Chain A
Amino acid sequence: MFHNRAEALALALPAAVFAAVVFLAPVVILLAEGFRNADGWSVSAYSGFLSDPLNRTVFLRTLRLGAAVTVVAAVIGYAAAFAIVNLPPKGKGRMIGLVVLPLMISPVARTYAWIVILGRTGIVNQALTSVGLTDEPVRFLFTETAVFVGLLQLFLPLMILALISALENMPKDAIPAARVLGANWFQVFWKVILPLTREGLVIGGTLVFTGSLTAYITPAILGGSKVLMLETLLYQRVTVANDFVSASVIAFILIVMSFAANLLLKRLATARSKR
Chain B
Amino acid sequence: MNSRLFPVTVLVLVTAFLIGPFFIIVAASLSEGETLAFPPQGLSLKWVAKVFEVESFRESFAMSMLLAIGGTAAALALGIPASYALSRYRLPFGETVRTVVSLPIIVPGIIVGLALLRYLVVPFGFNITLALFLAHTALVLPYAVRVVSASLNNLRSDIEEAAVLLGSSRAGAFFRVVMPNIRSGILAAFILGFVTSFNQVPVSLFLSGPGVRTLPIDMLSYMEVTYDPSVAALSALLAFMSIGIVFLAERFLGFSRYV
Contact = CB atoms under 8 A, between A and B. Distances in A.
Q: Do chains A and B touch in the complex (CB under 8 A)?
A: yes
B103 A210 contact: no
Contacts of B109: 214, 216
Contacts of B3: none
Nearest to A115: B36
A228 interface: no
B25 A22 contact: no
Given A12-B86, A14-B81, A98-B15, A29 B137 contact: no
Contact of B231 (A112, A185, A216): A112
B17 A153 contact: yes
Chain A interface size, under 10 / 10 to 19 / 20 to 34 / 35 or more: 35 or more
Nearest to A214: B108
Contacts of B24: 113, 116-117
Interface string B97-120: 100110111111111101110111
Given A5-B91, A105-B238, A255-B107, A18 B78 contact: yes
A71 interface: no
B225 interface: no
Contact of A15 (B97, B108, B223): B97
Nearest to A27: B115
A251 B101 CA distance: 18
The winner among B28, B195, B202 for most chain A CB atoms within 10 A is B202
Given A213-B108, A216-B110, A16 B239 contact: no
B163 interface: no
Nearest to B199: A106
A154 B238 CA distance: 17
Contacts of B105: 207, 210
Contacts of A248: 111
A35 interface: no
A1 B88 contact: yes
A271 interface: no
B107 A26 contact: no
B209 interface: no
Contact of A156 (B18, B90, B201): B18
A251 B107 contact: yes
Nearest to A217: B201
Contacts of B202: 214, 216, 231
The winner among A95, A109, A112, A121 for most chain B CB atoms within 10 A is A109
Interface stretch (B5-13, B45-53, B176-184): B5-13
At the interface, is chain A mostly helix, strand, loop or mixed?
A: helix
B1 interface: yes
A110 B238 CA distance: 12
Contacts of B236: 109
A247 interface: yes
A29 B201 contact: no
A259 B22 contact: no
Given A84-B11, A153-B21, A254 B81 contact: no
A140 interface: no
A158 to B, nearest CB: 11
Given A15-B145, A19-B104, A207-B105, 10 more contacts: A5-B89, A15-B81, A22-B138, A95-B11, A95-B15, A108-B216, A112-B223, A157-B18, A235-B110, A254-B111
Interface of B: 1, 6-8, 10-11, 14-15, 17-22, 24-25, 28, 36-38, 78-79, 81-82, 84-86, 88-92, 94, 97, 100-101, 103-112, 114-116, 118-120, 134-135, 137-138, 141, 145, 157, 170, 195, 198-199, 201-202, 205, 215-216, 219-220, 223, 231-232, 234-236, 238-239, 242-243, 246, 256, 259
Interface of A: 1-5, 7-9, 11-12, 14-16, 18-20, 22-27, 29-30, 76, 79-80, 82-84, 86, 93, 95-110, 112-117, 121-123, 153, 156-157, 160, 185, 207, 210, 213-214, 216-217, 231, 234-235, 238, 244, 247-248, 251, 254-255, 258-259
